[in-house]
Amino acid sequence: MMLLVHGIPVILGFVMSFYEFPSLRYTDWFRPETFVGLDHFAKVFQKDTIYGAQFWNSLKVTILYTVGSVVGTYVLGLVTALTLDKQFRGKLVARTVILIPYVTPVVVTLLTWRMMFRSDTGVINALLRQAGLIEGSLFWLLGPNSLYAIIIANVWRNFPYAAIMLYAGLQSVPEQLYEAAEIDGAGRWGKLRYVTLPQLKPVSAVILLLLILWTFINFPVPYILLGGSPSESGNVLMLLIYSFGFKQSAYGIGSALSAMLFLFSMTIAYVYYKRVVASSYDGGAI
């Protein structure tokens, strides 16, 4: 069953990347005269072609989107986890409330963000004007700000996952380590730097790996917020593949780009796991 659901589509995608499809009719597929070898891959890498120019821009946007989302999600999750680790009234309610962005259906969450980002009636611009940070209206879903819009929405969507995972990791940190650090004269920052963060290294490694992969191949957030024809600053690789496959009728180019994205993601996952995740657990940090 796993082979049918995941394996066959992946294999077909690789095969399709070596053919030129004149149409979506099945009878036009895989004919000897439509075999183009590595031409699609070559076109993607050539900056002076229409496909290559779009690819390099989307690759830069995707890297910025991934770095911004992962850093923002991890930092916000860590701050939330450290806050939940303290004793305060209403802690149980707070632990439940922070899960709302993660358990709410993604379409509902993103459509709400889409309304909030509207330039004319959106609450984001209203709050910024009230705070005196802007005078007019910013276009969040068009132009250069669209990258910030998808990063903010993605961070909001995923930070509860990071927070809960890190909070669970904090429960396993021995209290004796904090007592020993306190005897050595460590303050709050010292305890965080020399005790908390090293003890959270294994769980942090797993969280960062998953966030990188989830963000790099994320489609719902940019598509629902920006639509299928975003501006250059929000045109991540997944939207570009969608555009090649369903709007520009460049099925072979889209398949080649999908194949490269698949191999790139698998390589990142393997290297990161071997160098960071596996070494963290082998080191006995937990």
Q: What is the DSSP string of 198-247?
A: HHTHHHHHHHHHHHHHHHHT--HHHHHHH-SS--GGG--HHHHHHHHHHT
pLDDT at 228: 80
Cβ neighbours, 10 Å, residue 131: 8
DSSP code of residue 5: I
How confident is the model over 217-264, as pLDDT tens digits? Answer: 899 999 999 988 888 899 999 999 999 888 888 888 888 999 998 888
Alpha-carbon radius of gyration of the chain: 23
> Which residues touch 32 (CB under 8 Å, ≥6 apart)?
none
Cβ neighbours, 10 Å, residue 182: 13
Tokens of 27: 């009878």
Residue 111 contacts residue 186 (beta carbons within 8 Å): no
Alpha-carbon distances, residue 84 vs 67, 95, 100, 213 (angstroms):
25, 7, 15, 27
Residue 279 pLDDT exceeds 70: no
Cβ neighbours, 10 Å, residue 121: 10
pLDDT at 278: 67
Instruction: State the Cα–Cα distance between residues 110 and 141, nearest whole angstrom.
Output: 12
Tokens of 169: 């990791």
Instruction: State the Cα–Cα distance between residues 277 and 203, nearest whole angstrom.
Output: 8
Helical segments of the chain, H only: 2, 8-16, 39-45, 50-84, 91-97, 100-103, 106-116, 123-130, 145-170, 175-183, 188-191, 197-199, 201-216, 220-226, 237-246, 251-272, 278-282
Q: How confident is the model at residue 282 (pLDDT cuts 50, 70, 90)?
A: low
**Residue 103 CA to its chain's centroid (Å):** 17
For the chain, the domains span 55-241+257-285
pLDDT at 286: 39
Dihedral through CA 153, CA 241, CA 70, CA 211, nearest 10?
Answer: 110
Phi, psi values for residue 73, rounded to 5°? -65, -45
Instruction: State the Cα–Cα distance between residues 13 and 2, nearest whole angstrom.
Output: 16
How confident is the model over 147-193, as pLDDT tens digits? Answer: 999 999 999 999 999 999 999 999 988 888 888 888 888 888 898 98
Q: How confident is the model at residue 285 (pLDDT cuts 50, 70, 90)?
A: very low
- Which numeric CATH code is attached to 55-241+257-285? 1.10.3720.10
Alpha-carbon distances, residue 230 vs 91, 222, 223, 242 (angstroms):
41, 8, 8, 11
Cβ neighbours, 10 Å, residue 41: 17
How confident is the model over 71-130, as pLDDT tens digits? Answer: 999 999 999 999 999 888 888 898 889 888 888 899 999 999 999 999 888 899 999 999
Residue 26 pLDDT exceeds 90: no
pLDDT at 16: 84
Select the more confidently predicted residue: 2 or 44: 44
Instruction: State the Cα–Cα distance between residues 250 and 21, nearest whole angstrom.
Output: 8
pLDDT at 284: 47
Mean pLDDT over 9-18 rounds to: 84
pLDDT at 281: 59
